[in-house]
Each structure stands twice: as C-alpha cells, then as structure tokens.
Amino acid sequence: MAWQEVVGHEAQIDRFRRNLRSGRLASAFLFVGPDGIGKQLFARKLTQTLFCEVNPEYECNPCGQCPVCLQVIKGTHPDLHYVELLPGTAEIRTAQIVGGAIRINDKEEHFPGVCYEVNLKPIRARRKVVIINDADSLNNTSTANLLKTLEEPPPGAVMILLGTSLSQQLDTIISRCQILSFNALLPEQIQQILLQQQVVDDPNEALELAMIANGSVGLARRYSESDLLETRRELLGLLTALPQQAEKLSAMVIGLVDGKSLSRREKMDQLDFLTSIVVTCFHQVALQLSGQPPSGDPVLIDVSRQIASAWPGDVETALACIDRTLETAYHGRANANVKTLVEVWVDDLSQIWLTGGFKLPT
C-alpha cells in the first residue's frame, strides 16, 4: 500500500523486497541521486516497512495507516533518528552526530547525537533507524565520528545516508555503505506526483511544471509557487513566429536576465532557464522534422508543431538552433555582455529559420 506513494523507483523497491525476504538487510546505505526526486520519502517508506505493526517486514509492504507508520511519516517515532542541515547552516554540525550544544537563534540547544541515540535500546520498534539527509554536507569531523558507527552498528540498526552524488562523498563513507542510485524522474512521473500531492489540480499544468523541473519534484513544487510557467508560455508564444517577433523576444529575454536588482548568479540562472526552454522546444521540432511524434505538455507540443510546419530547413537546421542556444548559455556563464549576447543569439535563430540554415553572405 504505502509504497504506492513512491513514484519511479521500482528497481530500488525490488532490491529491498528481495533483501528482506531473504532476511539479509545491510546496516548502512548511501542513497545517491539529484535533489527532489523522492530519496527522503523512500527512506521513510523503508523505515515504515521495518517498523510497521500490521505487516511483517519480510513482506516489504507497510500498511501506511497504523500508528507506527504514521509516526514514521510525521517524524515522531522514537526509534527513527533524523539528521539534516539546521536552518542557516552549510554543514551538518558535529554535535548532531556525536552530541553537544548548538546555539540556535540565541538559544543553546542540546543534541544527543545520532551515534549515541542509535546505540540505545529501541523503544517501540525492534531496531533503530537513522536517516542522514544532506550527507553531502557532512564535514570531516562529523564523517570521522560517523565511521565507527557505520562500521560496527548496533545489532539490527539501519543507517541511511542521502546524498546527491558519489563524488560528494568521502571514500571512507562509500566503502562502508551499500550504494543505491536514484535517477531523475520522467516528466510523466513528476506530473503524477504533483497531482497526487495536490500541488496543482490541472494535469496539463502539472505536466508543464514537470517539463521545466529537470527531473526534480522539489523544483517543480518551487516553480508552482512562481510565475515561471507564465514566462515559459510567453517565451514559447514568441518563438512560434520568431522571425517576425525577434525584437520582442530579445527584449523579453533581456528584461528577465539583465534586471538591475538581480545578482550575477540570478541572471545566469534566468538565462539557463530561458535557454533550456528554447532547447527543449527545438528538440521537439527536430523530432517532428525527422518524422517522430512530439512529446511533452500541450503548450510545448502545440508550439513545436507550429514551428515544425513552418520550418523551411531540415533536421540539421533545428539541431543548429539547439547548438546555438547552448552556446549562448555557455557564454552567458562566461561573463559575456548579456544584452549583446541575447540579441545576437535571437538574430541568429531568426536567420537560421528564414534561410533554412543557408548562411547569408555577411
């Protein structure tokens, strides 16, 4: 039942199902994959599996409804210990691992430390579970202290570390954990989650959010609270008749990436966001020019169909637009003058469109 909430990680669920059936569960895991794809939810579902008072753990099928399953999801189960970055900090503090006091908002707070907690006798479950979110942010001292517990955990205890990639982890951690890789989600999977979690009600809007979220539910959620969808629709609308609307398109992009109040980082993020929309669109155009059906949300499909039907060139020329756009994003990061960069880029796209890729004499 409860695993149904986890979308898109069937192979990983299967692996635990096999492990639990055979009674061979490792004691330390490192889950790696991009942020916002459900690693944390997965870790909690696994904890429910181990703690559920209705279904035995070898069934790998937590009920999701019993008081214990609910406690796990709420984070209030006494045998589940959770570590994550404290607000405003860039590192997991050593006190969170080995115990000690940390000053938070002028108040001293005492942390028992997970290395201590995991060694206590379980209160309600048969074992202790520790989830360390943000494992990328463990500093050397925390890691050094954690190693002993990872190497010789108390009987039955399970430690789950969540990070974004193996390159962010020290070899000493990697060698003591079983590694599970989690992939970015497909747009349709993100759409399903957004609807399931009632982030939005409209399936088309959910798919639009999914298309710009780069495989991350976290990003899609954040985008749902901004006006980025409107921006995307406007940009795609201008692209449909690019040669006639080149000036408008330039002005729109420059207005968004060259605002005085924006930091350099924000400008680059905006340019990345806008260029990635154009890349996705020309990718769909190229697919259609090569006889394949488009995919994505209705807005993207509609716009890319219109462009493909008016496109005088071949697939290569649509791919040239992608290359030209990626180049622009690259130069934007390399500190080029954004205004000129955008104007030349949009002008080049118009020229490719108008001439079918035939280079005009200069």
Mind giving me the DSSP string for 32-66?
E--TTSSHHHHHHHHHHHHH-SSS-GGG----S-S
To Zn ion, the closest distance from the beta carbon of 63 in angstroms equals: 4
Specify the stretch interacting with Zn ion by CB under 5 A; choose among 54-62, 277-285, 329-337, 354-362. Answer: 54-62
Instruction: Name which of 66 and 287 has its Cβ closer to Zn ion.
Output: 66
The interface with Zn ion within residues 67-86 (CB under 5 A) comprises 69
Instruction: Name which of 66 and 85 has its Cβ closer to Zn ion.
Output: 66
Instruction: Name which of 71 and 96 has its Cβ closer to Zn ion.
Output: 71
To Zn ion, the closest distance from the beta carbon of 43 in angstroms equals: 16
Instruction: Name which of 125 and 246 has its Cβ closer to Zn ion.
Output: 125
Q: Per the structure block, which two tokens stand in for 11? A: 């192979």
To Zn ion, the closest distance from the beta carbon of 46 in angstroms equals: 13
Instruction: Name which of 52 and 161 has its Cβ closer to Zn ion.
Output: 52
To Zn ion, the closest distance from the beta carbon of 9 in angstroms equals: 20
154 DSSP assignment? P
Instruction: Name which of 68 and 285 has its Cβ closer to Zn ion.
Output: 68
Instruction: Name which of 4 and 335 has its Cβ closer to Zn ion.
Output: 4
To Zn ion, the closest distance from the beta carbon of 112 in angstroms equals: 27
93 C-beta neighbours (distance < 10 Å), count: 21
Mind giving me the DSSP string for 160-193?
EEEES-GGGS-HHHHTTSEEEE-PPPPHHHHHHH
To Zn ion, the closest distance from the beta carbon of 121 in angstroms equals: 22
297 to 336: interface string for Zn ion, x by CB under 5 A: ----------------------------------------
Instruction: Name which of 62 and 153 has its Cβ closer to Zn ion.
Output: 62
Binding-site member from 13, 63, 174, 287 for Zn ion (CB under 5 A): 63
Calpha distance 352→186 (Å, rounded): 31
* CA torsion angle 311 312 317 318 (round to 10): 10
Instruction: Name which of 66 and 254 has its Cβ closer to Zn ion.
Output: 66
Specify the stretch interacting with Zn ion by CB under 5 A; choose among 59-67, 76-84, 256-264, 327-335. Answer: 59-67
Phi–psi pair at 19, nearest 5 degrees: -60, -45
The interface with Zn ion within residues 33-52 (CB under 5 A) comprises 52
Specify the stretch interacting with Zn ion by CB under 5 A; choose among 66-74, 138-146, 224-232, 278-286. Answer: 66-74
To Zn ion, the closest distance from the beta carbon of 52 in angstroms equals: 3
Q: Per the structure block, which two tokens stand in for 205? A: 């809007």
292 DSSP assignment? P
Q: Is 54 in the site for Zn ion (CB under 5 A)?
A: yes
To Zn ion, the closest distance from the beta carbon of 125 in angstroms equals: 11
Instruction: Name which of 68 and 277 has its Cβ closer to Zn ion.
Output: 68
The closest alpha carbon to 277, from 314, 348, 228, belongs to 228
Assess contact for 275 and 320: CB atoms under 8 A: no
Calpha distance 110→78 (Å, rounded): 17
Lookup result for tokens 């020229």: 351
* Count of residues engaged in binding Zn ion, rule: CB under 5 A: 6
Q: Which residues contact 182 (CB under 8 A, 6 or more apart)?
A: 9, 12, 31, 32, 33, 34, 37, 38, 39, 42
Binding-site member from 1, 66, 179, 251 for Zn ion (CB under 5 A): 66
Q: E strand or H helix at 108, and its extent?
A: strand 107-111
Specify the stretch interacting with Zn ion by CB under 5 A; choose among 57-65, 77-85, 114-122, 332-340. Answer: 57-65
Show the DSSP H helices in 258-314 as ranges.
264-289, 298-310
The closest alpha carbon to 120, from 146, 76, 156, 144, belongs to 156
To Zn ion, the closest distance from the beta carbon of 47 in angstroms equals: 11
Residues that bind Zn ion (CB under 5 A): 52, 54, 62-63, 66, 69
